[in-house]
């Protein structure tokens, strides 16, 4: 498919005199479709706007078509009163929007999700084999909404589209920090807007068991602190997802990550002890006893109950990060291993999986798990989710196993969008056969929830996950980072209109921190800092617990800050090309930062929670000052006091220190300016000498 893609866009560009980049950014689509043919003309939106549906769709199409009308009305302010709800009787072939669907879509792996979208001046047509494809077509249409002085319109074009990968997932960890219904629903809306189709719910872990069980009610009663989904709510989530064409895959992490289960049913554990819900983050020892028949009876009942709640074919049993220590410490387990010739804990977990598998199968499910579940002899219809790396995924594919890539999509680690974006599940050098490639089903962005709450989780997922969604949907060749960022900026705004809180909660978090309405100076700082990345946030691994406040500077700071990123880009371009425009932009920012510390100090003084950013704020102002000095040296060959290089380097070094578990993201750029200035200054001095 990607073979068609490039020439078409290329054609377009020649035709219209645009570059590929501006062409894509003009449409602000994400994910970009497989094929887009631009045309002359505009379909104008007015009060006659209506949608008709022909063919044989699932009834979910009507709710989606109604949402389309509401969304356009909300964004354009036009009173679209001609049609309150789209209904099966609305079949007019001349309707402004005509959707044609061949058959009801099934919300299952490998369903046909393709669609064609054709827009001319008179009509918008969406044609798709299934309503799932038609829903994607509507998602594309919503992103195409544009305006000129005459009003709102969709640009004339033709799109032929279908996903590169069948499994395009977002995992939400609702176990560590519980994420309630409204968080789940608005994220499903965000997924639909970006054509993701699998919501993976990580439902049990050491810190909580998050589903009501009628068979073993102590699980949610004792294992959740009262924070769990009722079975009716689970049904509600599944129905909401199904209406958007999104699968819901449940995960119950076994046999490790099981503390919350053992709080309720300690008899399942490998130690004869009482358990308490884990309050820290990390890897812990509590683990089910794989040598006890009761464990399997229990799991048979429990997983049977849970399997009946989730209609998807796949059932995720976790399987990761078992330390094995409790097995080592239990003489009966050791005796069992000896008696059964089980060499090590790895083999013992294989025994567990082997006994778990028929239980999963008995309840009509295919097993999915993290890398560790891949053992000789497991059936070929299991799915491996790789957190360890692509190598294990390819190794599995070579053995004939299906896999989903999550390594490289750990969005909890606060890494920049481009790193995830360029992480291709099947890069050109993967060295897989076509058959093996087909076993790589796709990927999942994983939102582990140690350090997020319902207030902050949206800003950790979005907008970065839109770029990941493009990686899963669009051709491999759509990989221009600059263009991605340009579109992402617009998509982020659009995602706010579907209900996500990533932008609007920033103001709230800042007002709470400042204990006041004036957050201008605070925002100047916030916009250039990011939370510490990878696993550094949690100092010593025990700084934070379930009871910690996630309301501080590291929580309002978001990944991949645009202001900082653009500054770094400006500096790079300036140092290559010395354009006056970039110099101006750089100086404006440096001046703002230099002056900001004194603007921010009064807020810090009245709000002790901000004490932890005082040094950070000072360092930023110092960076601003030396940055400006460096710019002067570079631009005007200004001579400077002998001690300047040392002083400037010191400022840069100090600014590398973390503050409030965040770091300043413009240090490297200022450092480049300083380095360049020192070189120039050296030259100037040299010139002076001779």
Q: Which residue has the tokens 């789209």?
A: 86
362 binding a second copy? (CB under 8 A): no
Q: Assess 540 for contact with a second copy (CB under 8 A).
A: no
Binding to a second copy, residues 200-239 (CB under 8 A)? 225, 230, 232
Q: How far, in Å, CA of 546 to CA of 526, rounded?
A: 25
Q: Which is nearer to a second copy, 323 or 551 (CB)?
A: 551
> What six digits make up the tokens of 550?
């996630």
Beta carbon nearer to a second copy, 283 or 539:
539
Nearer to a second copy, 62 or 352 (CB): 62
Among 39, 497, 675, 676, binds a second copy (CB under 8 A): 497
Q: Which of 22, 21, 20 is nearest to 7 (CA)?
A: 20
Choice among 111, 321, 486, 566 that is catalytic: 321
Residue 467 CB contacts under 8 Å (≥ 6 apart), including other chains = 30, 417, 418, 420, 421, 484, 488
- In terms of CB distance, is 551 or 668 closer to a second copy? 551
Single residue of 10, 11, 48, 85 touching a second copy by CB under 8 A? 85
The DSSP string of 336-402 is HHHHTT--SHHHHHHHHHHHHHHHHHHTT-EEEEEGGG--TT--TT-EEEESS-HHHHHHHHHTT-E
Examine residue 377 and tell whether it contacts a second copy (CB under 8 A): no
Closest CA to 356 of 343, 346, 366, 370: 366
Query: Does residue 588 interact with a second copy by CB under 8 A?
Result: no
Q: How far is the CB of 324 from a second copy (least distance, A)?
A: 28
Task: Candidates 3, 14, 149, 686: give the one binding a second copy (CB under 8 A).
Answer: 149
From 54, 73, 102, 292, residue interacting with a second copy (rule: CB under 8 A): 73
How many residues lie near a second copy (CB under 8 A)? 51
Contact pick of 282, 507, 541, 682 for a second copy (by CB under 8 A):
507
What's the min distance (Å) between Cβ of 512 and a second copy?
5
Q: Does 279 participate in binding a second copy (rule CB under 8 A)?
A: yes
Distances from the Cα of 35 to the Cα of 7, 12, 284, 477, 478, angstroms: 10, 11, 48, 12, 11
74 counts as binding a second copy under rule CB under 8 A: yes
Query: Which CB contacts under 8 angstroms, 24+ apart, belong to 627-631?
Result: 627/586, 627/590, 627/593, 627/594, 627/670, 627/673, 627/674, 628/587, 628/590, 628/591, 628/594, 629/677, 630/670, 630/673, 630/674, 630/676, 630/677, 631/583, 631/586, 631/587, 631/590, 631/673, 631/677
Give the span between the Cα atoms of 104 and 122, in whole angstroms.
27
Strand 97-103 with 124-130, pairing: parallel
> What does the alpha-carbon distance between residue 174 and residue 176 come to, in Å, rounded to a whole number?
6
Q: Choose between 23 and 548: whose C-beta lies nearer to a second copy.
A: 548
608 makes contact with a second copy (CB under 8 A) = yes
Active site includes 681? no
User: At its nearest, how many Å lie between a second copy and the CB of residue 462?
Assistant: 13
Closer to a second copy at the Cβ: 152 or 370? 152
Q: Is 641 in the site for a second copy (CB under 8 A)?
A: no
Q: Give CA separation, 46 vs 78, 260, 533, in Å.
A: 7, 55, 48
From 108, 181, 215, 335, residue interacting with a second copy (rule: CB under 8 A): 181
Interface with a second copy includes 551 (CB under 8 A)? yes
Contact between 503 and a second copy per CB under 8 A = yes
Q: How far is the CB of 481 from a second copy (least distance, A)?
A: 21
Residues carrying an active site annotation: 321
Interaction site with a second copy (CB under 8 A): 70, 73-81, 84-85, 147, 149-152, 180-182, 225, 230, 232, 279, 493, 496-497, 503-505, 507-508, 511-513, 515-517, 545-549, 551-552, 605-609, 612
């Amino acid at each position: 498919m990607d073979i068609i893609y490039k020439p078409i866009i290329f054609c377009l560009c020649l035709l219209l005199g645009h570059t590929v980049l501006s062409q894509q950014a003009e449409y602000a689509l994400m994910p970009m479709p497989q094929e887009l043919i631009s045309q002359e003309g505009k379909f104008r939106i007015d009060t006659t706007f209506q949608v008709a549906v022909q063919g044989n769709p699932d009834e979910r199409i009507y709710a989606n078509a109604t949402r389309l009308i509401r969304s356009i009305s909300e964004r354009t302010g036009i009173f679209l009163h001609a049609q309150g709800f789209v209904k099966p009787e609305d079949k007019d072939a001349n309707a402004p929007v005509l959707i044609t669907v061949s058959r009801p879509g099934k919300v299952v792996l490998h369903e046909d999700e393709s669609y064609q979208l054709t827009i001319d001046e008179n009509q918008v047509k969406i044609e798709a084999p299934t309503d799932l494809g038609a829903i994607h077509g509507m998602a594309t249409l919503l992103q195409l909404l544009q305006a000129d002085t005459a009003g709102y319109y969709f640009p004339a074009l033709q799109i032929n589209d279908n996903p590169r990968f069948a499994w395009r997932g977002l995992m939400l960890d609702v176990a560590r920090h519980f994420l309630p219904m409204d968080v789940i629903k608005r994220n499903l809306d965000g997924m639909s807007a970006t054509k993701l189709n699998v919501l993976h719910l990580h439902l049990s872990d050491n810190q909580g068991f998050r589903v009501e069980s009628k068979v073993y009610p102590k699980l949610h009663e004792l294992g959740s602190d009262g924070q769990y989904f009722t079975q009716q709510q689970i049904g509600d989530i599944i129905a909401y997802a199904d209406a958007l064409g999104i699968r819901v895959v449940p995960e119950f992490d076994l046999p490790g990550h099981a503390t919350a289960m053992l709080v309720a049913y300690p008899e399942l554990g490998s130690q004869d002890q009482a358990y308490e819900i884990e309050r820290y983050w990390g890897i812990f020892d509590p683990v089910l006893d794989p040598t006890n028949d009761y464990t399997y009876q229990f799991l048979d009942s429990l997983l049977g109950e849970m399997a009946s709640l989730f209609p998807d074919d796949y059932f995720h049993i976790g399987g990761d990060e078992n330390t094995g220590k409790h097995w080592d410490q239990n003489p009966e387990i050791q005796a069992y291993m000896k008696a059964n010739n089980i060499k090590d804990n790895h083999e013992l977990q294989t025994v567990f999986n082997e006994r778990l598998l028929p239980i999963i199968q008995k309840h009509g499910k295919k097993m999915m798990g993290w890398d560790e579940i891949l053992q000789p002899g497991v059936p070929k219809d299991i799915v491996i989710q790789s957190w360890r790396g692509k190598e294990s995924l390819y190794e599995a594919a070579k053995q004939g196993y299906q896999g989903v890539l999550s390594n490289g999509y750990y969005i909890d680690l606060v890494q920049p969008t481009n790193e995830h974006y360029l992480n291709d599940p099947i890069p050109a050098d993967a060295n897989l056969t076509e058959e093996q490639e087909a076993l790589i089903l796709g990927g999942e962005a994983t939102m582990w929830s140690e350090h997020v709450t319902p207030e902050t989780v949206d800003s950790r997922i979005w907008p970065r996950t839109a770029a990941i969604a493009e990686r899963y949907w669009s051709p491999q060749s759509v990989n221009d980072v600059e263009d991605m960022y340009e579109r992402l900026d617009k998509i982020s705004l659009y995602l706010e209109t579907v209900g996500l809180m990533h932008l609007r909660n920033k103001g709230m978090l800042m007002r709470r921190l400042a204990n006041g309405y004036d957050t201008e100076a605070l925002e100047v700082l916030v916009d250039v800092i990011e939370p510490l990345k990878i696993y550094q946030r949690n100092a010593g691994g025990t700084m934070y617990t379930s009871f910690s406040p996630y309301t501080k500077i590291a929580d309002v700071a978001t990944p991949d800050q645009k202001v900082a990123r653009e500054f770094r880009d400006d500096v790079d371009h300036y140092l290559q090309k010395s354009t006056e425009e970039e110099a101006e932009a750089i100086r404006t920012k440096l001046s703002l930062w230099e002056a900001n510390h004194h603007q921010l100090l009064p807020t810090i003084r009245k709000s002790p929670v901000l004490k932890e950013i005082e040094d950070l704020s000072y360092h930023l102002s110092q960076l601003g000052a030396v940055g400006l000095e460096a710019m002067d040296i570079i631009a005007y060959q200004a001579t400077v006091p002998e001690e300047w290089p040392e002083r400037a380097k010191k400022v840069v070094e100090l600014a590398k220190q973390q503050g409030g578990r965040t770091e300043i993201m413009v240090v490297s750029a200022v450092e480049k300016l300083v380095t360049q200035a020192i070189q120039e200054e050296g030259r100037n001095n040299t010139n002076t000498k001779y």
